[in-house]
Amino acid sequence: MAEDHHIARMAALALGLSVLEAAIPSPLPGVKPGLANIVTLIVLARYGWRTAVWVSLLRVLAGGLLFGNFLAPGFFLSLGGALCSLAMLAASQHLPQRWFGPVTHSILAAFAHIAGQLLLVYFWLIPHTGLLYLVPVFAVAALLFGTVNGLIAAHFLSEPDTDLAKAYILKTH
Amino acid sequence: MHSPLAYLKAGDYLILVSGCLLTVFLALTLWQGGAADKAIIRSGGKIFREVPLSRDQLIAVPGPLGISRISIHNRQARIAADPSPRQYCVRQGWLKQAGEIAVCLPNQVSIELSGGNKRYDSLNY
């Protein structure tokens, strides 16, 4: 029960970050920082992969309802990206922690996210090879935002305070 | 507040460098574009002519509104003149790489550059 509340709180925090970044203009649909993934990374490191799956999928579902694109293409793109990221994290979490930190998980998940979304777009929405021209742009975005989000997650993980929401509020005030 | 570098472990650098290499590789392979060697000119949906880009020439293509003039010059192709009202295809300018296409919808004339290796035979929507 306490764990359910915890998952809900983390998902709500992730959702808040999704809403926040929806206000940031993007040069290309699909290129956005993915700030909500910082929460997923922290949850992964502190509470394990299963909890991260819950938080991530709840965020996608609630985000779909909140943004009004539930079961629309945008929702399935979010879901596809999240599922690919989580699959990648399932593998990358077994990398030795001594050498691989949140930045590794973040970059790998960002690449998996964009790869999943591009495949979904190609096979479902736009079956045109012109899409290939956009792949390097998305790769640069994945690398950049993956690194930055990983660093932010690493920063929070180095804080002694285990209550993420509290830490977040303290940081912003 | 630590320096961001303090959060990076040895493996993180490995992944970061691999990500950079992958990105550079993707950009190099996907952005080189195929060199175009011929232009396919269509009128009313049917292939009107296929011309090599090696020879400079002017081609007049008839459509329902009148004549569209296509210019091939210096291994590039463009629609030089067209009777369509908004002139989108003319303003598109020179086409250089395989896969580039200019379409004059009102006059039903299009020009597409094609390279040696075409990745698909047909597309339908």
Three-class DSSP labels, B78-107:
EEEECCCCCCHHHHCCCECECCCEEEECCC
Using the beta-carbon criterion (under 8 Å), do B120 and A129 form an inter-chain contact?
Answer: yes
Give the residue from A125, A113, A122 showing the smallest Cα distance to A31. A113
Q: End-to-end CA distance of chain A, in Å?
A: 30
Residues 39-98 of B with CB under 8 A from A: none
Give pLDDT, residue A131: 85
Query: Would you call B32 an interface residue with chain A, using a CB distance cutoff of 8 Å?
Result: no
What value does the mean pLDDT of chain B take? 86
Q: Give the tokens for residue B124.
A: 């339908």
CA angle A123, A112, A88 (to 5 degrees): 125
* Beta-carbon pairs below 8 A across chains A and B: 73
B116 — pLDDT class (breaks 50, 70, 90)? low
- Asked whether residue A5 carries a pLDDT value surpassing 80, the answer given is yes
- Asked whether residue B11 carries a pLDDT value surpassing 90, the answer given is yes
Q: What is the mean pLDDT of residues B71-97?
A: 90
- Asked whether residue B115 carries a pLDDT value surpassing 60, the answer given is yes
Higher pLDDT, B118 or B94: B94
Using the beta-carbon criterion (under 8 Å), do A104 and B30 form an inter-chain contact?
Answer: no
Q: Which domains does chain A have, with CATH numbers?
A: 2-172 (1.10.1760.20)
CA distance A106 to chain B (A): 10
Give pLDDT, residue A167: 56
What value does the mean pLDDT of chain A take? 90
CA distance B9 to chain A (A): 5
Q: What is the mean pLDDT of residues B36-59?
A: 89
Q: Give the tokens for residue B23.
A: 């990105």
Most A-contacting residue of B7, B21, B22 (CB-CB within 10 A), to test interface? B7
- Asked whether residue A115 carries a pLDDT value surpassing 90, the answer given is yes
Burial (CB count within 10 angstroms: exposed 0-12, middle 13-18, buried 19+), residue B109: buried
Give pLDDT, residue B38: 86
Burial (CB count within 10 angstroms: exposed 0-12, middle 13-18, buried 19+), residue B12: buried
Least confident range of B36-40, B91-95, B109-113? B36-40
**CB within 8 A of A85, min separation 6: which ones?**
A37, A40, A56, A109, A110, A112, A113, A116
ipTM of predicted assembly, 2 dp: 0.86
Higher pLDDT, A74 or B98: A74
User: Using CB atoms, which residue from B7, B23, B30 is nearest to A151?
Assistant: B7
Contact A35, A18 (CB under 8 A): yes
- Asked whether residue A173 carries a pLDDT value surpassing 70, the answer given is no
In our burial notation (b when 16+ CB lie closer than 10 A, e otherwise), range A36-70 reads bbbbbbbbbbebebebbbbbbebbbbbbbeeeeee
Give pLDDT, residue B99: 80
- Asked whether residue A128 carries a pLDDT value surpassing 80, the answer given is no
